[in-house]
Structure 1
Amino acid sequence: MSAGTDGTALISLRGVTKIYGSGTTAFPALDGVDLDIAAGEFVAIMGPSGSGKSTALNILGCLDAPSSGQYVFRDIRVDELNRNQRALLRRHYLGFVFQGFNLLSRTSAQENVELPLLYRGEDADRRHAASRRALAQVGLAGWEHHTPGELSGGQQQRVAIARAIVTQPLVLLADEPTGNLDSKRGHEIMELLVSLNRDQGITIIMVTHEPDMAAYASRTVRFVDGHVESDTGAKA
């Protein structure tokens, strides 16, 4: 387990379970997970298919709620929040990167990056300035007006990362961020994530099945059958 310098964690799970179905068809995707993540860590979550790693990421990202147990984020009991409250937490503190990019195909890179700010009600001038800064941070200055169809897979994922960081989140959650990329582009994306973690202090939690991508993280948590089997590289 890993905690901050003051002994507290940015994220803490205690006895978290997630049950799908009921009765004889009930399936425990998570079975009593304990996990602490400190601010500024880069954590890779690994495990075989069905191990619970994606379920854990969805709960950490407030996309789903645990069936039981405690989830604390910055002293907030997330497991006690309703859906709208979780959405607010997600909007203001979390950024997401997915394997499939999830970009709007007929919309420019800049407009794609602006979407989270639009949902937050930011005015146009602030949205434009922030999206340009975010695109520059991921190496896409000058590509603001290109649509996804005019970009390579690696560039599209950079746009997706810019969209995730444009709100200056505390935590970036990445679900197989290199899964749709060739090896060279995958390593470029990982180097970008490392730089965001190192230079901006963004806490990164990444699900991956690729050991060479997990090696970029400072810590690897392995899930098996709904629980944490191993946790390597964690701070004391």
Structure 2
Amino acid sequence: MSEPLIVLTGVTRSFGSGAAAFQALRGVDLEIEEGDFVAIMGPSGSGKSSLMNILGCLDTPTGGSYRFRGLAVESLNRDQRAMLRRHALGFVFQGFNLLARTSAQENVELPLLYRGEPVARRHELARAALASVGLSGWEHHTPAELSGGQQQRVAIARALVTGPSLLLADEPTGNLDTERSREIMDLLAGLNRDQGITVLMVTHEPDMAEYAHRIVRLVDGRIASDTRKAASPAEEGAQ
């Protein structure tokens, strides 16, 4: 069998020192296979954000091991972690994080600009990414001209445009109403199912977590439960 996409072994993360030290993660063991869809849940202060920052190479563990496709991530320097983010990871945030005066296509092209892709290639890939999230014809609209759901679709297209192995979604429906939330979750589930993109999502909404194959619950920096479901709502609907 091939090695999982992600293997965390005894991962800890502490902030501060001495008596004032705060243990955000207290020995997390977690494996995520290629093509999985995992929801991370837990109360405020449970360690969800610290875990996502480590998985997204935005932070490093205080202790333990993080392997991504067999690569020891904790041993990488800042530039090497940035390179891994640029080529293997995509990020979707609750607040969309789009540039206000920039078109949808230009927003999606940003990761390619940082990667040094030629202009024509950037245009081609950005248009294809927008089409993949149902936004063909909206390339030249600014965020102010888009609904919240459309803005999140642009953000997802931006995350997908580099062809990542792992999509990290932090409360992706937190700023959306119920109908738009379901649209975004159907989109993420479809990308996972049809393109095989591994999705790791932090959410506090149980109905959104139900779209995942697996629900991992954190409490006080430890994994309290790790439950794999028989089928997600999207999968049941496709049967």
**What is the TM-score of this pair, normalised by structure 1?**
0.96
Measured in 1, the distance between the counterparts of 2:2 and 2:41 equals 26
Residue identity (%): 71
Work out the number of aligned pairs and report it.
230
Measured in 2, the distance between the counterparts of 1:71 and 1:229 equals 20
1:88 is matched with: 83
1:10 is matched with: 5
Pairwise mapping of residues 109-188 of structure 1 onto structure 2 (< 5 A)? 109-188=104-183
Whether 2:29 is the aligned partner of 1:34: answer yes
Q: In structure 1, list runs of 5 or more residues that go unmatched.
A: 1-5
1:22 is matched with: 17
User: What letter is aligned with 1:226?
Assistant: G
> Do the aligned partners of residues 189 and 27 (structure 1) sit closer, same or farther apart at CA in structure 2, a change above 3 Å counting?
same
1:3 is matched with: none
Tell me the secondary structure at the aligned position of residue 87 of structure 2: helix
Tell me the secondary structure at the aligned position of residue 224 of structure 2: strand
Tell me the secondary structure at the aligned position of residue 220 of structure 1: strand
User: What letter is aligned with 1:163?
Assistant: R
Among 87, 98, 102, the residue aligned to 2:97: 102
Q: Is the 8 A contact 2:104 2:142 kept in 1?
A: yes
How far 1:7 sits from its partner (Å)?
A: 5.0
Measured in 2, the distance between the counterparts of 1:9 and 1:56 equals 17
Measured in 2, the distance between the counterparts of 1:129 and 1:7 equals 33
Whether 2:159 is the aligned partner of 1:201: answer no
Q: In structure 2, list runs of 5 or more residues that go unmatched.
A: 231-239
Whether 2:44 is the aligned partner of 1:49: answer yes
Measured in 2, the distance between the counterparts of 1:194 and 1:147 equals 26
Measured in 1, the distance between the counterparts of 2:151 and 2:76 equals 34
How far 1:8 sits from its partner (Å)?
A: 2.0
Measured in 2, the distance between the counterparts of 1:72 and 1:175 equals 21
CA displacement 1:159-213 (0-9 Å, x = unmatched): 0000000001000000000000001000000000000000110000000000000
CA displacement 1:47-83 (0-9 Å, x = unmatched): 0000001110110000110001000001100011111
Measured in 2, the distance between the counterparts of 1:24 and 1:147 equals 49
1:67 is matched with: 62
How far 1:234 sits from its partner (Å)?
A: 7.2
User: What letter is aligned with 2:209?
Assistant: A
User: What letter is aligned with 1:216?
Assistant: Y
Measured in 2, the distance between the counterparts of 1:205 and 1:147 equals 28
